[in-house]
């Protein structure tokens, strides 16, 4: 029996139909309206547009797969993390959602650090106050839009709004809830002391489930809208990073993924909540019961390459740009890129820092600049590996995902920068694939997530670090590490 995964991303909603053997039968994507920026570093989207796109993607994927809706054994959901979807008592959206990359809440982070305390925040939630996290967005709305806040009765994350439209149920998984700054990550439940300290009502929050658990079923109304069958089970699913990790088999300690999408993420599975006392890494629940993960985030990873393409690419494709970059030598003849277009999370926790392109000479070409961007993003991800080493988080194998896995040059650069073999998998369908595997576990196709990944995730290629390139990258990484202090001193 096939299973369905849905990923509510930033740019669009994606649906994927997967067979019981893990083969992808079909996929479809419906784009979202671009997010709006009503103020500097603000980012908002309309939840109704996610639901519209999800309906379109589900209908198209089922039709392309050639399966009957009644044969769908289960549905898994994934999506962009950290968003704040606010509903009133009738389930109507109160205002556009503040999404993951919104950076307006520095004041609210400072308030939390003063009133709750930075150390207590880490103790209660395993994470520091950052502008990306959901709680800070709630506090901003409460402070600046009190009339709207007075209407709020339900708080959801993006994928969970789609679940609500699919089923009428308010639910969330532990992995996505970890990114709200309201979850006791160690105990895998909402933190009453944190909610009390922030002055929030627990009744506004959805029920929390483990990722493979069935928590809802398709309603009659949603069946008519999507073509699905009423009563089809829906599992809790996971935020996009945990679901994406499941999709490439990052389930056990020692397994690490490096994924380059709009943002970049280094994700390590752990069997304990591995807390970074400096708060540079996120410590979240994994999509697997009794497991956790640590995660470092680069805000503008693939976004850096897209920005270069859009501003100076002259209509060139990514493949054409990386072909030019391949003509430049490792180290880009001294050009360095600091990818702080949207501030930075790991390791700097600095929403106001901005990017820099340094070391330019008249002899440099666009290829040098593009290569410097590819290397700079990899350097920023290496910062997470550096912290893993400090915390004694094991790194036995590294699997690549996103655009960084599809580009041969970027694979070579990452292998050289990390000084480690990097693997790619046969099916790299992102978070939607991981969500489908979680649905399969909930539907009984596999006994647990480990069994699912062992059965269907296959390594398709390994890229080894080239010795000379690795030596150059190691030297340039140390030069790269000097950029941030210089930028900070000028701010």
Q: Are strands 85-87 and 154-156 parallel, antiparallel or unpaired?
A: antiparallel
| Gap between the Cα atoms of 356 and 359, Å rounded | 10
The pLDDT of residue 279 is 86
Instruction: Give per-residue pLDDT as tens, 387-427.
Output: 999 999 999 999 998 888 999 999 999 999 999 999 999 88
Residue with structure tokens 């920026």? 37
Percent of the chain with pLDDT over 70: 100
Q: Of 7, 173, 240, 276, which one is the catalytic site residue?
A: 240
> Is pLDDT at 355 greater than 80 in this prediction?
yes
- Half-sphere exposure of residue 52, counting CA atoms within 13 Å on the CB side? 8
Averaged pLDDT for residues 64-90: 97
Averaged pLDDT for residues 306-326: 95
| Gap between the Cα atoms of 475 and 303, Å rounded | 25
The yes-or-no answer on residue 333 being catalytic is no
Residue 45, helix vs strand vs coil? strand
The pLDDT of residue 85 is 98
Averaged pLDDT for residues 37-52: 94
The pLDDT of residue 465 is 97
| Gap between the Cα atoms of 284 and 273, Å rounded | 7
Could you tell me the domains of the chain? 3-242 (3.30.420.40), 249-427+458-491 (3.30.420.40)
Residues 6+ apart with CB under 8 A from 42: 36, 98, 102, 103, 104
* Residue-averaged pLDDT of the chain: 96
Instruction: Give per-residue pLDDT as tens, 113-149.
Output: 999 999 999 999 999 999 989 999 999 999 999 999 9
| Gap between the Cα atoms of 340 and 380, Å rounded | 10
Instruction: Give per-residue pLDDT as tens, 365-381.
Output: 999 999 999 999 999 99
> Is pLDDT at 240 greater than 80 in this prediction?
yes
The model's confidence at residue 255, banded by pLDDT at 50, 70 and 90, is very high
The pLDDT of residue 491 is 72
Averaged pLDDT for residues 154-159: 98
């Amino acid at each position: 029996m096939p299973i369905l995964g849905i990923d509510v991303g930033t740019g669009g909603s994606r649906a994927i139909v997967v067979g019981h053997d893990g083969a992808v039968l079909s996929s479809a994507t419906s784009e979202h309206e671009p997010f709006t920026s009503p103020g500097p570093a603000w980012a908002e989207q309309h939840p109704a547009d996610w639901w519209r796109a999800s309906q379109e993607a589900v209908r198209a994927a089922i039709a392309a797969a050639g399966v009957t809706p009644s044969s769908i054994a289960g549905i898994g959901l994934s999506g962009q993390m950290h968003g704040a979807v606010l509903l009133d008592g009738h389930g109507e959206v109160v205002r556009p959602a503040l999404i993951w990359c919104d950076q307006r809440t520095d004041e609210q982070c400072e308030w939390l650090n003063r009133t709750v305390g930075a150390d207590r925040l880490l103790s209660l939630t395993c994470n520091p106050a950052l502008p990306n996290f959901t709680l800070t967005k709630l506090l901003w709305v409460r402070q600046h839009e009190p009339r709207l806040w007075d209407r709020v009765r339900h708080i959801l994350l993006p994928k969970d709004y789609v679940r609500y439209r699919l089923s009428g149920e308010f639910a969330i998984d532990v992995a996505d809830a970890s990114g709200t700054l309201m979850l006791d990550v160690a105990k895998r439940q909402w933190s009453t002391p944190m909610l009390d300290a922030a002055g929030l009502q627990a009744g506004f929050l959805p029920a929390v489930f483990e990722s493979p658990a069935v928590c809802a079923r398709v309603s009659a109304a949603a069946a008519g809208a999507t073509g699905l069958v009423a009563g089809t089970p829906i599992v809790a699913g996971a935020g996009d990073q945990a679901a994406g990790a499941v999709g490439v088999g990052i389930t056990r300690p020692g397994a690490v993924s490096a994924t380059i999408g709009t943002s970049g993420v280094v994700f390590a599975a752990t069997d304990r909540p591995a807390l970074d006392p400096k708060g540079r890494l996120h410590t979240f629940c994994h999509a697997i019961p009794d497991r956790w993960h640590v995660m470092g985030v680069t805000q503008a990873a693939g976004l850096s390459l897209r920005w270069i393409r859009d501003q100076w690419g002259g209509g060139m494709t990514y493949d054409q740009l990386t072909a030019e970059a391949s003509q430049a030598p490792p180290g880009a003849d001294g050009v360095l890129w600091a990818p702080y277009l949207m501030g930075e999370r790991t390791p700097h926790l600095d929403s106001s820092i901005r990017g820099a392109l340094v070391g330019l000479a008249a002899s440099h070409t666009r290829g040098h600049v593009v290569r410097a961007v590819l290397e700079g993003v990899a350097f920023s991800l290496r910062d997470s590996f550096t912290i893993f080493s400090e915390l004694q988080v094991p790194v036995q194998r590294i699997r690549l995902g996103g655009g960084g896995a599809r580009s041969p040059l970027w694979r070579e650069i990452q292998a050289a920068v990390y000084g480690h073999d990097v693997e790619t998998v046969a099916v790299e369908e992102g978070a939607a694939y991981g969500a489908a595997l979680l649905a399969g576990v909930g539907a009984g196709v596999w006994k647990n997530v480990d069994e699912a990944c062992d059965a269907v995730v296959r390594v398709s290629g390994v890229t080894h670090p080239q010795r000379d390139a690795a030596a150059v990258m190691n030297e340039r990484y140390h030069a790269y590490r000097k950029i941030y202090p210089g930028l900070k001193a000028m701010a």
